[in-house]
Structure 1
C-alpha cells in the first residue's frame, strides 16, 4: 500500500473518525505521502485540492464523507481501507483558471474545481457582456449572475441553476445563467473546454458584480476570463460501486 497522509476537517465527526483511522493504520506526514485520505465534506475536499495546487505538490485523494452532501466523497467506513484503495477507480479532473480585473485595476488569478460564478452584489441586476472564444455571443445579459462549471462541478451550483449535467471526460464546460431577465429564453450553453469565456460588466459601479472561484471571492470586478487549465491534473479516487462517473450519470434520472 502506498504511503498515506490523513487529513480531516474541523468538524467533531471528522475529528473522531480521524482518531479511529489513526489507531488502525500507518500514516506519514503530508510531505512524505504518495496519496491522501481526506475526511469531511465536499467543501473540505475542494479545500484540500486547492491547498495542494498552491503547494505545487498534487497527490491522489480518497475522500470519505463526514459532511453533509458528500457527492465527491466515498462512504465512511474504517474497515479494510487498504483493500478499498487497491480497488479504487481514479478520475482525473482539470480545474478552471480565472483571471479577474477589478474596477480599481487590480488583477487576481485563481483556480476553481467546481465553477466560477459572477454574482450581483446589490439588489440591482447585473448587466454582462459574454464572449465565447473571439465572438461576443451575448452583448447584454441581464441576470442575477452567470457561471462556468466543469463536469465535476456540473452537479453542484450549476445543477441548482438548471444547468446541464456534464459527463466526466466530456471535455465540455457548462455556461449557465442565474435567474436571467434578458434575454428571457436563454438557458445557457455547453461549450468546449478549449474555448475561453470572457465576461465584461457593463455598469460595474452602479451594478457591482463579484466573481467567485469555488470558495474565493473577488468583489467589484470589471472583466473576468475563464479557461480550463489543462496543465493541472487532479486525481480523485472512488470505490468502484460508487464511482464519480456513475454518480454524475445517475443524477440525470433523479426526480
Structure 2
C-alpha cells in the first residue's frame, strides 16, 4: 500500500525520524514497527548520498520513504523523488510563491516542472514502463509544505490552493517560537493549540493531507483528533535513550529482587 493510499484511508500513519546518515542504521530503524521512515536533511545529518542509499532498506522493508529537505532546497525534492522517495517535506514554506516553487520540483508537467530522470526510483519501485511512471507519479508522490511561522499561517489558504501541494506538515517547535514571538520553544504550548487545530481543519477542508511532529507521545491522540494523520516521531537518539532506560531499569529491578 502506498503512502497516499494510507493517508487517504484517514488512519494515523506513524513515521520514524532518522537523522543518522548511515544506511545500516536506517535499515535497523526500518525494521521496527513504524509505518514509514523519514530521512531528515534539515536538522538531521542526512545528505544526498545517505538519502540515495538510505531509501533502499526502507523500500526493502515495504515501507514508504519520506525525505525532509533543507530550507529552500527544492532541487533536492526532485532528487529525492528520483532516488525513490514517496514523499518530501519542505520546511519554511512561508508563502504561495514558496509553495509554487516546491510544487514545481515535485510534479511532472503539466502540474509542475519536474525534470525526467527516475534512474534509481523506477527499479526500486519494481516493474513498470516509463509511460506508467509518468502517468502515476504525480498522483503517488506527496508534497508536504511545512507550516512553521506566522507568515505561513497568514498565507495558509493561498498555500493550500497551489496545484501540486498535497499536504501541510506543522512543525510545532518552530511554530511555538513564532507564536510566542521568540519567548519560548514548547511543542505543546497550550496557547497555540486552537490555531494548530485550525491548520488541520483548513487543510482537510481544502482536500489536503496533514502531518505534524510529535515530540511528546502523550499528545498524539489529541493531534489525531484535530485531524492530523502523518505523525512523525522516534529519532534514533530518542529510541536508544528510551530503550536503554527500559533495559537498565529492568536489570536493576531484577537485581533488586535477587
Q: TM > 0.5 between the two?
A: no
The TM-score normalised by the length of structure 2 is: 0.26
TM-score w.r.t. length of structure 1: 0.27
More helix by share: 2
Higher strand proportion (structure 1 or 2): 1
